[in-house]
């Protein structure tokens, strides 16, 4: 089974605790990873990322086109079951957070994370028993689907199984220009610097789905992406994700400069002050 381990590793998929040799193997968060025997090998993938690949030992017999078609049909059926179960779970979580959110406090200014990031609480909520900030995630109709918690030392967690794709955390009232960025701290900094309606997509991978949703909701808005600049990493995920989304929707992108230890506009805020952020944004906003 070394060939299977190698193939899974190359596709960034963890090896399953056990393998079902007669049918589907499902494992991982929300059973996102899947594996199915095909001939002398396997077809596998990650339903949350919509990826698929094969793993075969050397000199394995060729799978016929008829066998492959039958397997694809089984995979399609199983994937639909996964999507249906996922939607049900997301609706259940949405109902729970909708009920729980009104019982949360407004976040206190003295929270350690807010002080460290030099930002105001703004629209953040607070869960007193855990001392966590709570950042609700909404769709464009204002329905809450999930949330992110942030501890005093900056550890961040999404609700397990909650919907995040295309959901976001908005700050401020709607303005003709809308700024889309990644995290809450960056969004808070940009709002404090500009007073513009600012949206936290929460991660780089969600920039494009959020931009797509916002563009459809506000077709006449001037949308600008204030991207993270992960220039010190091997792959600049922040810049690449923002550039891809901007290209699809013909939008402007603004990046913080290449400064060691700086990757977003909140880093600029903390190191150099809010006026520096204002100056850097002014060229794009004017």
Question: Per-residue confidence of the chain (286 residues) as pLDDT tens digits?
Answer: 689 999 999 999 999 999 988 888 999 887 889 999 988 889 999 988 788 898 988 777 667 788 778 878 888 888 888 888 889 999 999 999 999 999 999 999 999 999 999 999 999 999 999 999 999 999 999 999 999 999 999 999 999 889 999 999 999 999 999 999 999 999 999 999 999 999 999 999 999 999 999 999 999 999 999 999 999 999 999 999 999 999 999 999 999 999 999 999 999 999 999 999 999 998 777 6
CATH of 107-120+165-285, one of 3.40.50.10140, 3.40.1360.10, 1.10.3720.10, 3.40.630.30: 3.40.1360.10
Instruction: Enter the pTM of the model.
Output: 0.80
Q: Among residues 36, 145, 47, 150, which one has the least CA distance to residue 100?
A: 145
Interhelix angle 265-272/184-194, rounded to 10 degrees, is 60
Tell the burial category of 158 from Cβ atoms under 10 Å away from its Cβ (0-12, 13-18, 19+). Answer: middle
Query: What DSSP state is assigned to residue 163?
Result: -
Residues of the chain within CATH 3.40.1360.10 domain(s) are 107-120+165-285
Backbone angles phi, psi at 177, to 5 degrees: -105, 130
Q: Is 31 left (phi over 0), alpha (psi -120 to 50) or beta?
A: left
């Amino acid at each position: 089974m070394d060939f299977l381990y190698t193939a899974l590793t190359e596709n960034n998929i963890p090896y399953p605790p056990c393998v079902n040799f007669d049918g589907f193997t499902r494992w991982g968060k929300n059973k996102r990873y899947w594996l199915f025997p095909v001939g002398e090998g396997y077809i596998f993938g990650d339903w949350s990322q919509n990826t698929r690949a094969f793993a075969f030992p050397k000199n394995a017999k060729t799978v016929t086109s008829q066998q492959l078609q039958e397997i694809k049909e089984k995979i399609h059926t199983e994937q639909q079951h996964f999507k249906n179960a996922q939607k049900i779970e997301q609706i259940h979580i949405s109902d729970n957070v909708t009920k729980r959110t009104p019982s949360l406090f407004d976040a206190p200014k003295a929270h350690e994370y807010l002080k460290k990031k030099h930002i105001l609480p703004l629209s953040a909520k607070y869960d007193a028993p855990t001392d966590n900030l709570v950042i609700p995630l909404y769709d464009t109709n204002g329905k809450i689907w999930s949330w992110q918690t942030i501890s005093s030392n900056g550890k961040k967690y999404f609700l397990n199984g909650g919907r995040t794709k295309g959901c976001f955390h908005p700050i401020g009232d709607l303005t003709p220009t809308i700024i889309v960025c990644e995290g809450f701290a960056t969004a808070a900094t940009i709002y404090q610097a500009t007073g513009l309606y600012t949206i936290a997509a929460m991660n780089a991978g969600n920039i494009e789905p959020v931009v797509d949703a916002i563009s459809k909701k506000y077709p006449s808005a001037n949308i600008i992406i204030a991207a993270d600049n992960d220039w010190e990493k091997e792959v600049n995920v922040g810049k690449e994700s923002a550039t891809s989304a901007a290209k699809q929707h013909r939008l402007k992108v603004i990046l913080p400069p290449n400064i060691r230890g700086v990757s977003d506009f909140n880093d600029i805020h903390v190191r150099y002050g809010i006026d520096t952020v204002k100056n850097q944004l002014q060229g794009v906003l004017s």
